[in-house]
């Protein structure tokens, strides 16, 4: 068993990921470079990108070079690899659909609008919505907590959401390794250039699947790359771009339809769950307050954007409520 140049590249990427995690070396530079791909890159996403992509290249190199393993695990022909790539694509797409259904389920439980951003308060405030879901990210936070490990304070693992997304979010414990392994097997029969592109696309798509969901930038970029690789059949032509571009365009169009269709420009509705201590609401421009069962519903006059209000909710309601749902205004970002 020998390591070729792609395997060596994988080792270098893994080492860089470890250095970035432990020292924060070039953290700002890496975040700036990866921001367009990872949608507001954080140190955590950058580390995962480097380590996961590196591991795919390294393992693919080892499998390909092994005279004993390769024939048993994979015949080495692109036709068979395409089948494995399809398994990875379907797994990630179905997982993202389930993520959307979990978001719907959470809101139905609390009898609130589907077009809201949910903030879970305990132990650390975390947000999730249909447009950018963190229900599967919360599984990672939960697994990390079980191992007794604590993520750096500036990396939010979404742990607060797990109590609301369980048990369905644990699908990620099956779909993530399945997508990874199927993608790895698909790489074995590819040319080196396709292996690099596929490892990058698969890594970015998995990051998006776990952190952001169907309409997130990383998922759309990674999923689009993998669709292109699947359509190309190991040889490029302009026609191979048609189907991938069309599929990604339809997903983006659906996202815009939800984002704009769910927008409320007249006012914000902030529904607080189990508020057990008073909060000074002077800065929120409250025009109406209702109390229904365990919910306190504030109607807010628009002032500032969604992010500014949610950041204030993080601070003002922490330790004083279990969570909140807030409507959004798409045009506040324009």
Tell me the three-class secondary structure of 228-280, residue by residue.
HHHHHCCCCCHHHHHHHHHHHHHHHHHHHHHHHHCCCCCCEEEEEECCCCCCC
Out of 57-61, 64-68, 303-307, which region has the weakest mean confidence (pLDDT)? 64-68
Nearest to 274 by CA among 178, 164, 143, 140: 164
- Alpha-carbon distance of 318 to 309, in angstroms, equals 14
Residue 114 has pLDDT above 90, yes or no: yes
Average pLDDT over residues 122-134: 91
The mean pLDDT of the chain is: 86
Average pLDDT over residues 30-52: 75
Which residues have CB under 8 Å from 102's CB, separation 6+? 133, 135, 165, 168, 169
Question: Helix 5-23 vs helix 192-210: angle between axes, to the nearest 10 degrees?
Answer: 30
Report pLDDT digits (tens) over 281-306: 888 889 999 999 899 999 998 877 78
What stretches of 66-161 show up as alpha helix (H) in DSSP?
69-73, 78-110, 137-146
- Omega within 30 of 0 (cis) for the link into 291: no
Residue 194 has pLDDT above 80, yes or no: yes
Phi and psi at 61, nearest 5°, equal -65, -45
Q: What is the pLDDT of residue 73?
A: 57
Residue 210 has pLDDT above 80, yes or no: yes
Average pLDDT over residues 278-283: 89
Residue 74 has pLDDT above 60, yes or no: no
Give me the count of residues in the chain: 334
Which residues have CB under 8 Å from 231's CB, separation 6+? 240, 241, 243, 244
Report pLDDT digits (tens) over 174-186: 999 999 999 999 9
- Alpha-carbon distance of 234 to 7, in angstroms, equals 21
pTM of the predicted structure, to 2 decimals: 0.90
Residue 72 has pLDDT above 60, yes or no: no
Residue 71 has pLDDT above 60, yes or no: no
Q: What is the pLDDT of residue 151?
A: 55
Q: What is the pLDDT of residue 64?
A: 79
Q: Please count the helices (runs of H) and the strands (runs of E) in the chain.
A: 12, 6
Which residues have CB under 8 Å from 167's CB, separation 6+? none
Average pLDDT over residues 116-134: 92
Cα–Cα–Cα angle for 155, 161, 163, nearest 5°?
A: 135
Q: What is the pLDDT of residue 331?
A: 79
Q: What is the pLDDT of residue 197?
A: 94
Question: Helix 192-210 vs helix 217-232: angle between axes, to the nearest 10 degrees?
Answer: 150
Report pLDDT digits (tens) over 138-170: 998 888 878 765 555 555 677 889 999 999 999
Average pLDDT over residues 7-15: 92
Q: What is the pLDDT of residue 42?
A: 62
Contact between 110 and 94 (Cβ < 8 Å): no
Residue 40 has pLDDT above 90, yes or no: no
DSSP 111: T
Nearest to 126 by CA among 98, 94, 93, 151: 151
């Amino acid at each position: 068993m020998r390591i070729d140049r792609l395997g060596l590249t994988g080792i270098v990427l893994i080492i860089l990921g470890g250095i970035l995690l432990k020292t924060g070396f070039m953290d700002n530079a890496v975040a700036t470079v990866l921001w367009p791909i990872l949608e507001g890159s954080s140190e955590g996403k950058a580390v995962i990108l480097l380590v996961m992509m590196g591991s795919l290249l390294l393992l693919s190199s080892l499998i390909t070079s092994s005279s004993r393993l390769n024939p048993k695990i994979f015949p080495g022909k692109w036709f068979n690899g395409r089948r494995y790539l399809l398994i990875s694509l379907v797994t990630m797409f179905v997982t993202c659909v389930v993520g959307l259904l979990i978001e719907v389920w959470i809101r139905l439980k609390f009898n609130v609008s589907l077009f809201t951003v949910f903030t879970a308060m305990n132990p650390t405030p975390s947000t999730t919505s249909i447009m950018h879901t963190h229900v599967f990210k919360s599984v990672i936070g939960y697994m990390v907590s079980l191992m007794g490990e604590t993520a750096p304070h500036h990396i939010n693992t979404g742990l607060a959401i797990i109590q609301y997304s369980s048990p369905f979010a644990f699908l990620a414990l099956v779909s993530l390794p399945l997508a990874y392994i199927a993608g790895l097997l698909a790489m074995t029969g590819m040319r080196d250039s396709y292996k690099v592109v596929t490892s990058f696309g698969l890594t970015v798509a998995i990051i998006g699947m776990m952190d952001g969901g169907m309409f997130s930038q990383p998922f759309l970029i990674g999923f689009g790359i993998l669709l292109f690789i699947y359509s190309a059949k190991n040889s490029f032509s302009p026609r191979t771009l048609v189907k991938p571009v069309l599929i990604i365009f339809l997903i983006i169009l659906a996202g815009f339809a939800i984002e704009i269709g769910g927008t409320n420009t007249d006012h914000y509705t902030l529904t607080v769950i189990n508020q057990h201590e008073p909060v000074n609401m002077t800065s929120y421009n409250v025009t109406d307050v209702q109390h229904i069962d365990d919910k306190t519903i504030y109607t807010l006059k628009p002032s500032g954007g969604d992010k500014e209000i949610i950041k204030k909710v993080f601070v003002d309601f922490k330790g004083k409520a279990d969570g909140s749902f807030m409507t959004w205004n798409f045009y506040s970002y324009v």
